[in-house]
């Protein structure tokens, strides 16, 4: 099967999506923005062994490749509109392609977005997705808007679960079968918090999605906003699996696990009710975990308010953990 | 050097570009479209051994990675606005990164566009660039607009040169040093025909950029437009290097060379003067090489009008040539 047959069989679909005037099949896709909107763009590249293991089901990989990109749109409060896919494959593997496309399109359909273009080539497995989203002018939630006195929140209860699964694969941790299935789902099928991001528009002062670990990614908000924070390490939401781990593991995984795709965000203390309504409207739990302060840097405390040492390192793609 | 230092050192630059509200450093880039415009998007992935050789100078690779994407915008008559870069690197190689960034930004600056985001990760060398361009509503030049009676044109005089260089690298052809330098430049430093594409807006009825070979890429126009064409194989513009080759090599390289990044386009016969003015305005030569006809399929003829056998194959990334 050649390149064009492959695209036609697995990636080209009929049907019009609003705002997409020309999709796959021309030199470029042609998109029409709404009136008074800005376009948001994000691009993520997934490499075997770094972002996924060779053991992953193709459908889960297709889901995850799109999910991690949608998570960036979610962090900005954007409505997803379209995406491109560039794919390098060692060979044409029909089982892989069928599964990958199924998982990717299931998530795309859930968000009403279209694959509008891209590229396929032969090479070491590599998946590069670029997503496009839209916000009304000036309403994107940025990393730079946190202010002293703001509350600090995190979404969901999966923080640290993906890292638990990774440690099982690495052989440094062992979990009963059901617990492993649960954390493996968190690692392989992350749910981008798009609905929460949309609901937080006009409420959150800043946000970021957690891909390299909560403490490290929060650091980006603090630096871009020129503020600091105190974070209660024991207030982090935990899955039942993580809650069953020793306290040191709980803190380490929650604060520096990585691959979480929850949203960390800030909002004024006066907006606590609005945050709760946004959480309910998007059927996503949110947990208050700390406070933004004028003093730069991140300070960790335990449930009793005692300072904890900060010796966590977030995931860096050019360092081997 | 970690991921964020690498981005800061080589890819993050100061200065505002119109339409770019937020660039590198947030979850997404934020772009503001002009009034009454559509957005064009294209994505290309470059893999070592497929799209470039390990011997290429990093600066030339940086140029080419962006050039092949700008070429897609050129084919649609779009004004380039911004791009994202996702890069997988086996290791942090500062000489490579400095050269790559220099070549890429030199071309970006020539077109007044900004790098607005992307991703860096460790993995087998892979470069994925996504470009964004803009056209006034409804003015994108598509592959689907060719009509019987239209003239068929190609830009420039480099058709086949990149393939000549590749054959020298493969050892199937030998060229004197100066000739090799010239075709190697065509292969490694293609010039995207952005100015010509813009000048052809409202004149050309269809266009495509030649990446897989003229005959094959013209086939996309013919199928999308529901038409056929007769093409004079001996009318193809040739560089001095290609002109010095035997007639069979000239035809083969010109028709099915690949990696050319010239524009093939169609325009009504009544627009011949307008096409010449567009060529002059963009300082790009254009050559009339055939005619669009109602009968489907591509017919090759020689300078005397005699039919030539059509046994050319365009480049397919999942077949080894």
Check B121 against A32: CB less than 8 A apart.
Answer: no
CATH class given for the domain over B143-303: alpha beta
- Mutation choice for A interface testing from B2, B6, B21, B41 by most A CBs within 10 A: B41
Nearest CB to A121; choose among B50, B118, B208: B50
Contact B121 A51 (CB under 8 A): yes
Tens of pLDDT, residue by residue over A247-269, are 989 999 999 999 999 999 999 99
Q: Do A28 and B40 touch (CB under 8 A)?
A: yes
B151 assigned binding-site residue: no
Q: Which of B154, B157, B161, B190 is nearest to B66 (CA)?
A: B190
**Cβ(B91)–Cβ(A90) below 8 Å:** no
Q: For residue B290, say whether it is annotated as part of any ligand binding site.
A: no
Instruction: Tell me if domain B3-136 and domain B143-303 are identical in fold.
Output: no
Instruction: Report domain extents, chain B.
Output: 3-136, 143-303
Task: Using the structure block, give the residue that is written with the tokens 């309910």.
Answer: A280
Q: Categorize the per-residue pLDDT at A320 as very low, low, confident or very high, splitting at 50, 70 and 90.
A: very low
Nearest CA in chain B to A46: B121
Q: How does pLDDT run across A51-108, given as a tens digit for each residue? A: 888 889 999 999 999 999 999 999 999 999 999 999 999 999 999 999 999 999 999 9
Q: Which residues pair with B43 in a beta bridge?
A: B130
pLDDT tens string B9-30: 888 887 677 788 898 889 999 9
* Inter-chain CB proximity B27 and A123 less than 8 Å: no
Class for domain A151-304, per CATH? alpha beta
In this model, does residue B87 exceed pLDDT 80?
A: yes
Helix then strand then coil, % of chain A, to nearest 5: 35, 25, 40
pLDDT attached to residue A321: 40
- Identify which of B43, B133, B318 has the shortest CB distance to residue A86: B43
Closest partner CB to B32 (pick from A26, A38, A47):
A38
B104 within 8 A of B85, measured Cβ to Cβ? yes
Distance from CA of A280 to the nearest CA of B (A): 24
Asked if A3's CB is within 8 angstroms of B130's CB, the reply is no
- A50–B39 C-beta distance less than 8 A: no
A70: nearest Cα among A31, A97, A40, A28 = A40
CB pair distance less than 8 Å for A119 and B41: no
Q: Considering chain B, what percentage of its residues have pLDDT values greater than 90? A: 82
Helix (H) or strand (E) holding B162: helix B161-170
Contact criterion met (CB < 8 Å) for A208 and B41: no
pLDDT at B321: 40
> How far lies B312's CA from each of A197, B154, B161, B309, in Å?
52, 18, 17, 9
Q: What is the rounded average pLDDT for all residues in chain B? A: 93
Look at residues B141, B113, B134 and name the one whose alpha carbon lies nearest to residue A33: B134
| Phi-psi map region of B248: left, alpha, beta (phi>0 left; psi -120 to 50 alpha) | alpha
Q: What is the secondary structure of A59-76 as a DSSP string?
A: HHHHHHHHHHHHHHHHHT
Test the A interface: residue of B74, B128, B131, B219 with most A CBs within 10 Å: B128
Interface A-B: count of C-beta contacts within 8 A: 232
All residues of chain A having their beta carbon less than 8 Å from the beta carbon of residue B26 are 76, 142-144, 224
> What would the DSSP string read from start to end of A266-303?
EE-GGGHHHHHHHHHHTT--EEEEEEEESS-EEEEE-T
Contact A209 B30 (CB under 8 A): no
Q: CATH code for A3-136? A: 3.30.1330.10
- Does the distance separating the beta carbons of A130 and B43 come in below 8 Å? yes
* Nearest Cα residue in chain B from A264: B27
| Residues of A whose CB is below 8 A from B73 | 27-28
* Pairing mode, strands B228-232 and B297-301: parallel
| pLDDT score for B316 | 54
**Which one of B2, B31, B140 has the shortest CB-CB distance to A41?**
B31
Condensed to tens digits (0 to 9), the pLDDT of residues A129-161 reads: 999 999 999 999 999 999 999 999 999 999 999
pLDDT of residue A317: 52
Question: How far apart are the C-alpha atoms of B2 and A216, rounded to whole Å?
Answer: 13
Dump pLDDT digits (tens) for A288-307: 999 999 999 999 999 999 99
- Give the pLDDT of residue B312: 58
pLDDT in tens, A192-246: 999 999 999 999 999 999 999 999 999 999 999 999 999 999 999 999 999 999 9
Do B45 and A84 count as a contact with CB atoms less than 8 A apart? no
Q: Which residues of B touch A33 (CB under 8 A)?
A: 33, 37-39
Closest Cβ–Cβ partner in A4, A30, A50 for B121: A50
For residue B45, the chain A residues in CB contact (below 8 A) are: 86-88, 119, 121, 123, 126, 128
The tokens describing B226, both together, are 């529901």
CA distance B122 to chain A (A): 6
């Amino acid at each position: 099967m050649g390149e064009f047959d492959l695209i036609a069989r697995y990636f080209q679909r009929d049907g019009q999506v609003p705002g997409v005037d020309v999709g796959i099949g021309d030199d470029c896709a042609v998109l029409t923005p709404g009136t008074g909107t800005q376009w948001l763009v994000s691009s993520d590249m997934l490499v075997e062994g770094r972002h996924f293991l060779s053991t992953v089901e193709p459908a889960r990989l297709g889901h995850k490749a799109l999910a991690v990109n949608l998570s960036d749109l979610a962090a900005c409060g954007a409505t997803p509109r379209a995406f491109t896919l560039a794919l390098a494959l060692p060979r044409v593997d029909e089982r892989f392609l069928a599964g990958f496309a199924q998982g990717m399109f299931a998530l795309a359909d859930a968000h009403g977005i279209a694959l509008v273009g891209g590229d396929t080539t032969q090479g070491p497995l590599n998946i590069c997705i670029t997503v496009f989203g839209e916000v009304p002018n000036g309403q994107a939630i940025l990393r730079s808007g946190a202010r002293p006195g703001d509350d600090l929140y995190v979404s969901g209860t999966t923080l640290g679960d993906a890292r638990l699964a990774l440690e099982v694969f690495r052989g440094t941790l062992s979990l009963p079968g059901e617990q492993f299935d649960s954390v493996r789902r968190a690692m392989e099928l992350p749910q981008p918090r798009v609905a929460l991001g949309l609901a937080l528009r006009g409420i959150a002062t800043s946000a970021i999605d957690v891909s390299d670990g909560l403490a490290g990614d929060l650091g980006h908000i603090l630096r871009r906003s020129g503020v600091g924070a105190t974070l209660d390490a024991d207030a982090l939401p935990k899955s039942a699996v993580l809650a069953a781990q020793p306290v040191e593991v709980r803190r380490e995984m929650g604060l520096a696990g990585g691959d979480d795709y929850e949203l960390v965000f800030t909002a004024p203390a006066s907006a606590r009710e609005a945050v709760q309504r946004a959480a309910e409207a998007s059927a996503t739990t949110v947990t208050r975990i700390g406070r933004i302060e004028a003093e730069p840097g991140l300070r960790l405390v335990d449930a009793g308010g005692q300072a904890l040492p900060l010796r966590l390192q977030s995931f860096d793609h050019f360092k081997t953990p």
